[in-house]
Structure 1
Amino acid sequence: MRRNLRVAAYAVCVRDRQLLLARSPGPGGTPEWVLPGGGMEHGEDPYDTVRREVTEETGYRIEVTGLLGVDSRRRLFRRRGLTPMTDHHALRLVYEAEVVGGELRHEIGGSTDFAAWQDLDAVPGLTRVRLVDVALRLWRERPADGRPAAPPYPGG
Structure 2
Amino acid sequence: MARTEYFDDPSAPEPNSMVVAASAVVTDTEGRVLLQRRADSGLWALPGGGMELGESLPGCAVREVKEETGLDVEITGLVGTYTDPRHIIAYTDGEVRRQFNICFTAQIVGGELAISDESTELRFVAVNEYRDLDMHHTQGMRLKHYFEHHAEPYLG
- TM-score class normalised by the smaller sequence: 0.7 to 0.9
Task: Please say if 1:102 is aligned against 2:116.
Answer: no
- Residue number in structure 2 paired with 1:56: 67
Q: Percent identity?
A: 28
- Aligned residues: CA RMSD: 2.6
Tell me how far apart the structure 2 counterparts of residues 4 and 20 of structure 1 sit (CA, whole Å). Answer: 28
1:129 aligns with 136
Equivalent AA in structure 2 for residue 94 of structure 1: C
Question: Which one has a bigger Cα radius of gyration?
Answer: 1
1:9 is matched with which residue: 22, 39, 53? 22
Partner amino acid for 1:115? Answer: L
**Alignment map for 1:3-152 (pairs within 5 Å):** 3-15=16-28, 16-27=30-41, 31-75=42-86, 88-108=97-117, 111-139=118-146, 140-142=148-150, 144=152, 146-147=154-155
CA distance in 1, matches of 2:153, 2:35: 25
- The 1:78/1:17 distance shift into structure 2, 3 A limit, reads closer
How many Å separate the matches in 2 of 1:77 and 1:58? 22
Distance apart, 1:143 and its partner CA? 5.0
Contact 1:138 / 1:147 at 8 angstroms: preserved in 2?
no
Give the drift of 1:5: 0.5
Name the amino acid aligned to 2:26. Answer: C
Report the CA distance between 1:98 and its aligned residue: 0.7
Letter in 2 for 1:131: T
Secondary structure class of the residue paired with 2:84:
strand
1:10–1:37 contact (8 Å) kept in structure 2: yes
CA distance, structure 1, for counterparts of residue 27 and residue 45 of structure 2? 14
**Structure 1, unpaired ranges of 5+:** 149-156
Q: TM-score, normalised by structure 1?
A: 0.76
Q: Could you give the per-residue CA deviations for residues 23-48 of structure 1, whole angstroms, max 9, x where no partner exists?
A: 11344xxx111101111112321111
5+ residue gaps in structure 2? 1-13
Structure 1 pair 18/145, CA: closer, same or farther in 2 (3 Å)?
Answer: closer
TM-score (norm 2): 0.76
Asked if the contact 1:35/1:131 (under 8 Å) is kept, the reply is no
